[in-house]
Structure formats: C-alpha cells, structure tokens
Amino acid sequence: MSKPLSLERLRRRWDKQSATYDKKMGFSERKFFGDTRPWICGQARDETLEVAVGTGLNLGLYPAETALTGMDLSPAMLDLARSRAAEIGRGVDLRIGDAQQLEFDDASFDTVVCTFGLCAVPDDRGAVAEMVRVLRPGGLLLLADHVVSTSAPLRALQSVIELYSVRVENEHFRRRPIEHVRAAGLVIERHERFKKGIIERVAARKPDLR
Ligand SMILES: C[S@@+](CC[C@H](N)C(=O)[O-])C[C@H]1O[C@@H](n2cnc3c(N)ncnc32)[C@H](O)[C@@H]1O
C-alpha cells in the first residue's frame, strides 16, 4: 500500500484545484448526482455543520432557517464558498480545519452534512466518528458520495483508477461510508443508491439514549 499523502500536500492540491472545481464537477452533477444535493440539504434542520464544504455548492439549498457552519481543509476552496455565500446572501460561519479532528464540542449540532467529501478525506472512518461525536442525540447525519459500484466490471475499473487516484490525489472510489455509520450505531432512516450503485446517499439518526 502506498504512503498516505500528508494533510499539507492535500491542502495544497485542493487550493490549486479550487478555481476549476465547480466546472469540473459540472459533468458529474449532470450525469450522476441527480437531485442528491437538494435531497441532502432539504433534510437539514436548525444548527447544521457541513464538513468538507468545498466551494459551497450546497449553500443555496439549505432551508433558510438553518444556522450554517462549514469547514474545509483548503483556504482557497473556503474563499470561493465565502464569495458564494455573499453573492446569495447566505449567512455561514466558515472555518479551516481537519474533518478527522473537528474543533467543535461534543453534541454541538442538530444536523451534520458531508457531500462528496469522504472520498477525499484520508481516514473516512475517523471522519464519520467525528461527525457522530459533534451531533446531538436525536440529530441527523446526512451523507452522499460516490462509492464502490454494484456492477463487477465497474468495480474492476474503479480498482484500476484507484491505483493512480489514491496515490496522487487521495481520491477513493471503493469506499462505503454507510458501513461506518451503521458501525457507529446510528439508525438509517433513508438510504438510496443508484447509477450502478456508484452514488449513495444516507440519512441516519443518532439515537437519543437520555
Ligand atoms: C470533492 S470536494 C467536495 C466539496 C463539497 N463537499 C461538494 O460537495 O462539492 C472534497 C473536499 O474535501 C476537502 N477535504 C479533503 N480532506 C479534508 C480534511 N481532512 N478535512 C476537511 N476537508 C477536507 C477538500 O478540501 C475539498 O474541498
């Protein structure tokens, strides 16, 4: 197995990509994601944290009454999210940070969102654990990502792509964050998988054991 890229290298890579990110995502948005962004954001309530918020492509899709915080590793991606928020008149507290070590106290948010971010975070299981930690009991975790396909030929192709993408960009194609969500004891309330299983979206509730 190749050595994981350092966070500093990943940050530089995302900073460099920031200016072309929205355009590059355009193809995947049209061909693969369908209504995933509105599906995710429409379920957010009250105090909401978006992890790996990127350029803020979701910002305009949240219900107006949600109080938004966004975090990301890349200052350049966050600059674009800040400009977008100003353009659309959306208040959001944007912070630099690492999804694997969130700076927030336990049980700080009613909703935690991450879209197409866990494919890029080095330790996806650790990041899910952090999202669950900062979620209040009874809160909702909303995740969407590209994951390992249900089709054998596509799985083989994903394995080949990963030989390059993991080493050079830390981009994973065969993960399934839902497994970490289940292992963390959350209750899956809604779950959809489509496009040969490549796109998966999940709404999972943190049990309220009080
Ligand atoms: C594919 S982009 C997704 C951006 C956004 N969530 C979206 O839906 O368009 C991946 C994002 O993850 C961020 N990222 C990568 N590793 C991270 C980490 N350890 N902590 C926080 N953000 C990270 C990158 O900076 C980048 O903005």
The pLDDT tens digits for 87-100 are: 999 999 999 999 99
Q: How would you classify the pairing of strands 187-194 and 199-205?
A: antiparallel
Domain boundaries, the chain: 7-205
Query: What number of CA atoms fall less than 13 Å from residue 198's CA on the CB side?
Result: 17
Give the domain 7-205 fold: Rossmann fold (3.40.50)
**CA dihedral of 193, 195, 196, 198, whole degrees rounded to 10:** -70
- Euclidean distance between CA atoms 85 and 89, whole angstroms: 6
Res. 116 pLDDT band, cuts 50 70 90: very high
Protein residues with CB under 6 Å of any ligand 1 atom = 10, 14, 25, 52-54, 57, 72-74, 77, 98-100, 115-117, 120-121
Helix or strand or coil: residue 47? strand
- Report field, pTM of the whole predicted structure over 0.85: yes
Per residue in 146-183, pLDDT (tens digit) is 999 999 999 999 999 999 999 888 999 999 999 999 99
